[in-house]
Amino acid sequence: MSQTSKSKPTTLPKRPSVFNWRTFWGLLFLASFVWSLHSAGVFEADLINEGGWNLVWRFLVAAVHPDFSPEFLQLTLDATLKTLAYAICGTFFSVLIGLVAGILSSEIWWESVLKTQKTKLITQSPWLVVRGVLAIPRAIHELIWGLFFVNIFGLDPLVAVLAIAIPFGAITAKVFSEILDETPRQPLMALLNSGVPPLNAFIYSLIPQAFLNLLSYAFYRFECSIRSAAVLGIIGAGGLGYQIFLSLQSLRYEQMWTFLIALILLTGATDFWSAMLRRRLGAPSRLDLNVLNLSRRKKPLYQNDPVVKVSFLGTVVLVIFSFWYVQADYSKLYSPRTFQLLAGVFQDALPPDFSQLSQLFELSAKTLAMSILAMAGAGLGGILLSFPAANNFLLSGGIGDLRGNVVLFFTRFLLLVARAVPEPIWALIFLFVLFPGILPGAIALSLHNLGILGRLMAEVVENLEQRPITSLKALGATDSQVFLYGILPRTLPRFVAYILYRWEVCIRSTVIVGLVGAGGLGRLLAEQLSSFDYKGLLTTLIVFLVLTFSVDLISASVRRSLR
C-alpha cells in the first residue's frame, strides 16, 4: 500500500519585532536629547553675549601673527618639555599599575590560581572585588585628583604625575583585564595542567599572545596623557596648559597661539610616531573595544626593524629624561606629614553631609544633560569626518589623488586641532559669546571628543576587510552603493560602541569644564576643594560616582544590545 508523502508548507522566517531593545534605546536617546537641549536653555531667547564677538575677532586675528620672539620660544620649549615629561612619567606608572592590577582583576587569573576550586562563586568573587575597588579611582577625573593632591603636596610636580597615574592606572587595568580575559586560553591551560605556576604560565603564554593588544592600548593611553598633562596645568602644575590658561586670562592671544601651536605639534608628533610604530608592529588600531575582533596579525613583531629598535631606545631615553626633568619629590609619598594631612582630610570628610541632596540632584541632571549634548555632537561629527579622514576612503573611491590627499590632510588636521586643545580652553573661548551654563561646556566637550572619535573611527574604516568592497565593485555597484551596503553597515556598530565608550569618559570630563563656568557638579567640586569643605566634597563625590557608574551601566547595556 503506497503512502503519499505530504509536503510540509514552507515557513518564512519570522520578521523581528519593531519593539526591541535597539528601538527602546533609540527612543530613549531622542527623548534625552530633547530634554538636554531644554536643560541647556537652547529654547530660550538669551543665549548669545553680543559683546563677546570683539574678543573672538581679536582671538582669530592673533592666529595670523603669534609671538615667535626668541625669549618667548624658549619659554614655550620649556613648557612643552614639562608637559611631555608629565605625560611620560604618568603613563609609565599607569601602565605599571594597569599591568599588575589588570592581572589581578582578570577572571582568567583567579581561575588559574583557584583552579582546584570549581565553585563559580569562589572563582568570580576575587576579580569582581578588585574591579569594584578600581572603579572608584577610575571614575574620578584626573583634575580632581590634582586638586586634591595640591592640598596634600603643594605645587610639587608629584601632583601632576600622581593625578595622571592613579585614574589612568585604574582605567588601564580595566582594559588590560578585558584583553587578558578574551585572549585564547589553550596555551595557558596546557601549561597549568603541566604543573607550571600561574604567574609563569601567564608570562610565557597569555601575555605574549596579548602583547600587541596591550601595547596598542598603552600607546593610546600615552596620547591621552599628553592631553591630561596639558589640562593639569590649569591648576598650577605648569606646562603648556598653564601657559595657555594664563595667556587667555590676560588676553594675550598672540602668546596663546604660540602655546597652542606647540601643543598641536606635540600631539601631532605623538600621533604620528604612535601610528607609525603600531603599523610596524602589526597593531594598527589605537583602541579596539572588541578584542576578539582584532584580526589575526598579518605582520609579525619586527624584532630587527630599525624603526622599532630606535623607538625602543628612544622610549628608554625619554623615560629617564622625563623623571630627571620633572624632579618630583617622591619622598613625600611616605613622609609623616603626608600621613598626618591625609588623616586630617579623612577626619574632616567623615561623615558626609547629605543636607543639600536636592541641589546635588539638580546639578547631576545638568551634568548628565551636558554629557548627552556633547556626545551627540561629537558622535555625529566624528562619523561624518571619519570617512574623509581615512587614508583608504577617498583615494579608493574614485577621487583624484591630489584632491583626495588635500581633503585627507585638512580633515586630519581639523581633528588634530580639535583634540589637542584642552576642553577648558574650548569652554573659555565659547564663554566669550555664550552666557555661563552647560551649553558652552557641552560644545567644548563635543569639539574635543569629536577630534578623538573622528580619528578612532577613521582607523575602523582603514582596517576594514576589503574583499566585500572589491566584490561589490566587481558586480558593478556604484560608489554610493558600495558605501551604503559595503562600508556603512560594517562600521556603524563599531562607531556607536566608540561613542558609548567616550560617553563614559565624557561624564568624567564634565568636571574640568565646570571649573571655568560651565556649571554642573564640576563647579561645585572645585568650590568645595578650594574652601576645604571636605564633608560637602565627599558627598558630591559620592553623587558623582553614582552618576558615573549609572552611565557606565547604561553604556554597557546598549553595547550588548547592539552586538
- Residue 116 reports pLDDT greater than 60: no
SS3 content of the chain, % helix, strand, coil (to 5): 75, 0, 20
> Which residue type does 197 have?
P
Which of 194-208, 424-438, 445-459, 484-498 has the highest mean predicted lDDT (pLDDT)? 445-459
Average pLDDT of the residues in 163-187: 87
Cell of 317: 631615553
CATH fold of 29-53+350-562: MetI-like fold (1.10.3720)
Using the structure block, give the residue that is written with the C-alpha cell 618667548.
Answer: 72
**Alpha-carbon torsion angle 369, 371, 374, 377, nearest 10:** -80
Which of 6-10, 214-218, 347-351, 511-515 has the highest mean predicted lDDT (pLDDT)? 214-218
Using the structure block, give the residue that is written with the C-alpha cell 583634540.
Answer: 419
When mean pLDDT is compared across 66-75, 286-295, 333-342, the lowest value belongs to: 286-295
Percentage of the chain beyond pLDDT 90 is: 11
Average pLDDT of the residues in 69-97: 92
- Mean pLDDT for the chain overall: 80
Maximum C-alpha span of the chain: 108
When mean pLDDT is compared across 1-15, 46-60, 261-275, the lowest value belongs to: 1-15
Distance CA 521, CA 526 (A): 9
Average pLDDT of the residues in 104-126: 68
pLDDT at residue 211, as a whole number: 84
pLDDT at residue 92, as a whole number: 94
Q: How confident is the model at residue 87 (pLDDT cuts 50, 70, 90)?
A: very high
- Residue 516 reports pLDDT greater than 80: no
What is the CA angle 153-532-541, rounded to 5? 95
Contact 457, 383 (CB under 8 A): yes
* Of 244, 217, 232, nearest in space to 163 by CA: 232
pLDDT at residue 7, as a whole number: 52
When mean pLDDT is compared across 212-216, 274-278, 421-425, the lowest value belongs to: 274-278
Percentage of the chain beyond pLDDT 70 is: 87
Per-residue pLDDT tens digits for 365-382: 888 888 899 999 999 999
418 class by beta-carbon count within 10 Å (0-12 exposed, 13-18 middle, 19+ buried)? buried
Beta bridge partners of 434: 48
Q: How confident is the model at residue 8 (pLDDT cuts 50, 70, 90)?
A: low
pLDDT at residue 97, as a whole number: 93
Distance CA 405, CA 48 (A): 37
Average pLDDT of the residues in 469-480: 76
* Of 48, 41, 32, nearest in space to 439 by CA: 41
pLDDT at residue 361, as a whole number: 87
Beta bridge partners of 48: 434
pLDDT at residue 287, as a whole number: 61
Average pLDDT of the residues in 535-556: 82
Distance CA 146, CA 168 (A): 13
> Which residue type does 79 have?
A
Q: How confident is the model at residue 473 (pLDDT cuts 50, 70, 90)?
A: confident
pLDDT at residue 14, as a whole number: 62
pLDDT at residue 40, as a whole number: 79
- Residue 17 reports pLDDT greater than 70: no
pLDDT at residue 329, as a whole number: 82
Residues making up the chain, counted from first to last: 563
pLDDT at residue 96, as a whole number: 93
The dihedrals phi and psi of 184, each to the nearest 5 degrees, come to: -50, 135
- Residue 41 reports pLDDT greater than 80: no
Average pLDDT of the residues in 453-462: 86
Cell of 100: 599588575
Which of 80-89, 390-399, 454-463, 472-481 has the highest mean predicted lDDT (pLDDT)? 80-89
Tell me whether domains 29-53+350-562 and 68-345 share a fold. yes
Average pLDDT of the residues in 318-344: 86
> Which residue type does 523 have?
R
The CATH number given to 68-345 is 1.10.3720.10
How many CB atoms sit inside 10 A of residue 413's CB? 13
The per-residue b/e assignment along 476-489, b for 16 or more CB within 10 angstroms, e otherwise, is ebeeeebbeebbee
Contact 232, 160 (CB under 8 A): yes
Q: How confident is the model at residue 208 (pLDDT cuts 50, 70, 90)?
A: confident
Distance CA 156, CA 332 (A): 10
pLDDT at residue 166, as a whole number: 92
DSSP H or E segment with residue 293? none
What global pTM score does this model have? 0.83
Average pLDDT of the residues in 123-137: 76
pLDDT at residue 165, as a whole number: 92
Cell of 60: 582669530
- The domains of the chain are located at 29-53+350-562, 68-345
All residues at 6 or more sequence positions from 95 whose CB lies less than 8 Å from its CB, including other chains: 169, 172, 218, 221
Q: DSSP letter for 464, please.
A: S
Q: Residue 19 in 3-state DSSP? A: coil
Which of 280-284, 498-502, 529-533 has the highest mean predicted lDDT (pLDDT)? 498-502
- Residue 445 reports pLDDT greater than 50: yes
The dihedrals phi and psi of 486, each to the nearest 5 degrees, come to: -115, -20
* Helix residue ranges per DSSP H, 467-533: 467-474, 479-482, 488-513, 521-530
- Residue 410 reports pLDDT greater than 60: yes
